[in-house]
Amino acid sequence: MAETLKLSLYDTMTREKREFVPTDPKRVTMYCCGPTVYSYAHIGNARAAVAADVLFRVLRHIYGEDHVEYARNITDIDDKIIVAAKEQGIDISEITTKFAKIYNDDLAALGCLMPTYQPHATEHMDDMVAMIEKLIVDGYAYESEGHVFFDVTKYDDYGKLSGNTLDQLKQGARVGEAEYARKKNAADFVLWKPSKEDDPSWDAPFGAGRPGWHIECSAMIKKTLTSEKYGETIDIHCGGQDLKFPHHENEIAQSNCAHNAPLANYWVHNGFLQMDAEKMSKSLGNVKLIHELLETWDGEVLRFALLSGQYRGELDWTDSLLKQAKNTLDGWYRILEQEGLEFISGNEPEDISLEAPVLSNRANCFLNYLCDDLNTVNVISELSQLKQNLSNGYDNGFDGSSPRIIPFSLKRKWNLLRSFVGTANLLGLLQKDPEEWFRGKAQEGGLTDAEIDGLIADRAQARADKDWGRSDEIRDVFANENIILEDGADGTTWRRG
């Protein structure tokens, strides 16, 4: 465990940045609300998952890989899933299996680690029914026409996370008349509802049906992350800011009332993603799917673009943000290519030249930024500065009072490179071999690898045939596509420029 690092996180509940102190440093727990799997996830969903992934990686770095437990659920029963299955005339499990896999594949392409647990709602019906029963018995929930509702007036702290008061909610309530008639209070939310004729349904003492969305997370958190030994409170609950109300507010209310203990000690919410300064929405037609973006861009470019804003702020998603991310990563990979992976991953070199004075402990400085509420912006800017120094071959730092230029000793260069790569890896970046990167598709449209190899063979044949016209034609195609050929002793290699 890296004892000296102090992580601080902005806690939405207390509205302040607080030092993170886990209940048990041997078992740090975090939960993030996962996707409802009926369609492709969009880049706004990816932002929440990548922010949680960075937090997961930082916690693993501080407390050790085996001492962090991260659960992210799959909501595989929901009205939208049922509608999609009916439209396509297939079973809901066919849809949910397909899109759960696509979600995991898309996130893997973005460099997200798999969580420790990925519970599926339909596998935890018993846990949900048990929690609802307890809430009814203890007087926090009531049955009404086959439904079970949570009575928000029974929980004094309702609204504390989002700042909504029950009076405000009453005024703003816009519910259908039938639903309103069944409820005691407009803000009461559904824990269980009867299923329509052919819809999937589970048996329960209060009638066959299916759960509301909010109870799913509370029940799965209890099942996967809490226990008698560790208590009912997890360390961190995270998710998108859009889930603060009503979803997280309702999770808090039902879990607190069922267990008489807080649901989480820290609430971490990521900010919205804007599309070209507009809200991303279906009605504006500007929803960008992860899956589509991955057809054009390498997943690492998308990840870099997401990390280029601090997770709590709004991030404006534009083409130029992606191009900038790609350019910066190209520069970073160029360093790896120049220095050689053998050198970077090898042992510390012996160096007969005089060791330059150590100007600052870069590795600690990176980590301290990261531990300051996951300030990826500062880390990336420091890494870019270091990349510049590595390209130049010297440090420009301070020695006492006067700035001076200090050429790297071999040892120092090796140390800085290790620090550079190690920090980028901790952010989930620089995960590829540089050669693979420069041959990669991190480029808009363009030729496929197979097409490029085919054209290189054609060019060799044209040259052999002294067909200079054809050879020039192919040269122009490569120039247009910004593909750089390098003729060497072992034949022609290529990379994207």
Least spacing, CB of residue 196 vs Zn ion, in Å: 24
For the bound state, the minimum distance from the C-beta of residue 217 to Zn ion, rounded and expressed in Å, comes to 3
3-state helix, strand, coil in the chain (%, to 5): 50, 20, 35
Shortest Å, Cβ 124 to Zn ion: 13
Q: In Å, how far from its chain's centre is CA 337?
A: 28
Residues between 31 and 50 that touch Zn ion (CB under 5 A)? 33
Out of 32, 71, 82, 217, name the contact with Zn ion by CB under 5 A: 217
Question: What's the CA gap between 181 and 177, in Å, rounded?
Answer: 6
Which residue, 119 or 271, has its beta carbon nearer to Zn ion?
Answer: 119
Does 219 contact Zn ion by CB under 5 A?
no
Q: Taking the complex as a whole, how short is the minimal distance between the CB of residue 204 and Zn ion, in angstroms?
A: 21
Stretch in the footprint of Zn ion (CB under 5 A) among 28-36, 192-200, 263-271, 381-389: 28-36
The span of 30-38, 42-50, 256-264, 349-357 binding Zn ion (CB under 5 A) equals 30-38
Residue number, 239 or 299, with CB nearest to Zn ion: 239
Count of positions on this chain that bind Zn ion (CB under 5 A): 2
Question: Least distance (Å) from Zn ion to the CB of residue 33?
Answer: 3
Taking the least distance from each CB to Zn ion, the nearer of 46 and 264 is 264
Q: How far is the CB of 370 from Zn ion (least distance, A)?
A: 26
Separation in Å, CA 19 to CA 6, 9, 236, 371: 7, 6, 12, 10
- What count of Cα atoms within 13 Å lies in the side-chain half-sphere of residue 406? 21
In sequence order, the 6+-apart residues with CB closer than 8 A to the CB of 184 are 142, 149, 151, 153
Q: List the interface residues with Zn ion, window 257-276 (CB under 5 A).
A: none
CA distances to 38, 99, 160, 174, 367 from 96, in Å: 6, 5, 34, 30, 38
- Determine, following the binding rule CB under 5 A, whether residue 220 of this chain makes contact with Zn ion: no
Residue 280 near residue 288 (C-beta atoms within 8 A): yes
**Least distance to Zn ion from the beta carbon of 194, Å?**
23
Query: Which window, 27-35, 202-210, 366-374, 431-439, contacts Zn ion (CB under 5 A)?
Result: 27-35
Q: Please, what sign has the CA dihedral across residues 165, 168, 172, 176? A: positive
Taking the C-alpha atoms of residue 58 and residue 65, their distance in angstroms, rounded to an integer, is 10
Strand pairing class (315-317; 402-407) = unpaired
Question: DSSP of 419-487, one letter per residue?
Answer: HHHHHHHHTT-S-S-HHHHHHSS-SSS---HHHHHHHHHHHHHHHHTT-HHHHHHHHHHHHHTTEEEEE
For residue 413, the minimal CB distance to Zn ion (Å) is 47
Q: Which is nearer to Zn ion, 9 or 217 (CB)?
A: 217
Closest to Zn ion by CB, 116 or 431: 116
**Binding region for Zn ion (CB under 5 A):** 33, 217
